[in-house]
Amino acid sequence: MTAQQLREQLNAARIHKPQVTYLVSEILTYPNLVQPLLASVHEQDKEGLFNASWVFDHVLRQQPELILLVIDTFVEGLEHIQSESCIRSMAHACQTTTEHYFKKKNPLFTAQITPSHLETMVTVCFDWLITEHKVATKVFAMTCLFYSGEKFNWIRPELKLYLEQHIGSGSPGFQNRGGKLLVKLNNLGY
C-alpha cells in the first residue's frame, strides 16, 4: 500500500471496524505509512473527521513502538488537535507512550522520548483533563499524568488535588479511573 492509497481509503467514507483492521494490518506491514497516517489525522481533524485517528490509535494498540517513528511530529501537533474524536485517540496515544516509558521502562521509549516530549504531553494532557472533554479523553489524560509524575514531582500532588475536587461530580468512568489513581497516589504518599 502506498501513502496515496492509504489517504484515499481514509478519506473515502466513514470506515468500519473491518476496514480499520485491514488498514492497521497494512500499516504494520509497511511502517513507513505511519507518517502519512499521522498527517491524515491532522488533515481530518480540521474537517471534523476521525478515520485516521481511529486507525492511528489501533496501530499503536498493536505496536506502540511505531509512535517513535513520528514522535516529534506527534508531540508538536498535540496542542493543535480540536475534534473530540481525534483528541480521544491522541490522549490514548499519550497514555500508551508514557506507560511504555515509565511503567514498562521500554528501552526504545526511554532512549528516544525526550524531557521536552514529555513536558508537552503533560501540558496538553492537563489541558484536556481540566477543560470540557468526554470521559475517555479525561481518563487517558489523567493516566498519562500519573505516569509522568514519576519524572515531574509537581504533577502527582496537582493531579491528586484535581481528582479529589472533581471525583464526586465525574461520570462513572471518571470516578472509576480517578478512584484507582487516588488509591495509587495515597499509597505513594501523596
- Would you list the DSSP string of 29-48? H-GGGHHHHHHHHHHHHHHT
Q: How far apart are CA 101 and CA 115, in angstroms?
A: 11
Q: How far apart are CA 76 and CA 29, in angstroms?
A: 26
Whether the model clears a pTM of 0.85, i.e. scores above it, the answer is yes
Domain boundaries, the chain: 1-70, 84-190
Q: What is the pLDDT of residues 102-127, one digit of tens each?
A: 999 999 999 999 999 999 999 999 99
The distance of Cα 171 from the centroid of its chain, to the nearest Å, equals 20
Whole-number pLDDT of residue 54: 96
DSSP code for 53: H
Q: How far apart are CA 57 and CA 77, in angstroms?
A: 15
Q: What is the pLDDT of residues 156-181, one digit of tens each?
A: 999 999 999 999 999 999 999 999 99
Q: What is the pLDDT of residues 88-102, one digit of tens each?
A: 999 999 999 999 999
* C-alpha cell read off for 176: 472509576
Q: 44, 80 in Cβ contact below 8 A?
A: no
